[in-house]
Amino acid sequence: MKQATRDRMLLETFAMLADTLVVGYDIVDLLQALVDACRDLLGVTAAGILLAENGGELELMASTSEASHLVEMMQLGAHAGPCIESYREGAMVSVPSIAQAPAEWSAFKGSALAQGFASAEAIPLRLREKTIGTLNLFRSESGTFPADDLIAARAFADVATIGILHERSLRDSEVLAQQLQGALNSRVIIEQAKGVVSFTNDVPIDHAFTLLRDYSRSHNLPLTSVAARVVARQLRLDAPDEPAS
């Protein structure tokens, strides 16, 4: 991708995200747009956002793929890996070579290498002294991430943080807890909808999520709303027929 084209796309992405925050937004849609932008513009192979529950456990909120092995890897990293280290320290954690990751990250390391990932970067979702989760980037090649990409990634992480918290919510810890729990509850509904679509269409979970996301975008509806209608059996999503050979 040419630098001028990439720069323009980055500006368009930030403009889109800013409009979303001003006009009103669905938090799941916002986070999904962020991880997709990381994949498309920052040259990463996969990206995901983890948010902390009230007890401090990190849970996956959005990822560039809903394939079970990728979801599992990110959850492993939330227990022992760069994700949890970044959350605990409130700082970026760079892993130029996953193959040389610490022994205590063995489960995460094995899963990441099996999927072809060679390097990782975990960026805290942090505003002042409050860290609420992490943005996690994975690449198929080893080495440090380009400096310009990390600057953009940090900006994406800041947008995600602001979108979740809102300034007024910082004054009320109860409101903050409710917002975070609401976001996590939305993820539960999406998981249920993925299962329904997967079962009714006899397709993999990853394909089921794609059907949900495509319907959401083509009808300009919040992803959570689409998922809730699917779970309530008010909406049925059918996979398109395969073209005749």
**Which tens digit of pLDDT belongs to each residue from 51-60?**
888 777 898 8
Q: How far is CA 200 from CA 13, 112, 207, in A?
A: 35, 31, 12
pTM of the model: 0.71
Which pLDDT score, from 0 to 100, does residue 241 have? 62
- Nearest Cα residue to 93 out of 125, 131, 120: 120
d(CA 33, CA 64) in angstroms, rounded, equals 9
Question: Which of 37-41, 218-222, 239-243 has the lowest average pLDDT?
Answer: 239-243
Residue pair 137/44 in contact (Cβ under 8 Å)? The answer is yes
Task: State how far the Cα of 35 lies from the Cα of 222, in Å rounded to an integer.
Answer: 16
pLDDT for 170:
44
- Give the confidence band of 245 by pLDDT, cuts at 50, 70, 90: very low
* pLDDT at residue 1, rounded to an integer: 60
Q: Which residue has the higher pLDDT, 29 or 3?
A: 29
User: Is-contact 72 111, C-beta < 8 A?
Assistant: yes
102 and 85 Cβ atoms separated by less than 8 Å:
no
pLDDT band, very low/low/confident/very high, at 172 (cuts 50, 70, 90)? low
Query: In CATH, what is the architecture of 3-169?
Result: 2-Layer Sandwich (3.30)
Is 234 a residue whose pLDDT tops 60? yes
Average of per-residue pLDDT across 158-185: 68
Of 42, 47, 46, residue with least CA distance to 146: 42
Q: What is the pLDDT of residue 243?
A: 46
pLDDT tops 60 at residue 2: yes
**Is residue 41 very low, low, confident or very high in pLDDT (cuts 50, 70, 90)?**
confident
pLDDT band at 148 (very low <50, low <70, confident <90, very high): confident
Amino acid 203 reads V
Q: How far apart are CA 153 and CA 161, in angstroms?
A: 12
Residue 13: predicted pLDDT: 74
Question: For 71-113, how does the pLDDT look when each residue is reduced to its tens digit (9 = 90+)?
Answer: 899 889 889 999 999 999 999 999 999 999 999 999 999 999 9
Kindly list the domain boundaries of the chain, sorted by start residue.
3-169
Mean pLDDT over the full length of the chain? 85
Segment 212-232 shows an average pLDDT of 93
Q: Dump the DSSP string for 197-231.
A: HHHHHT--HHHHHHHHHHHHHHTT--HHHHHHHHH
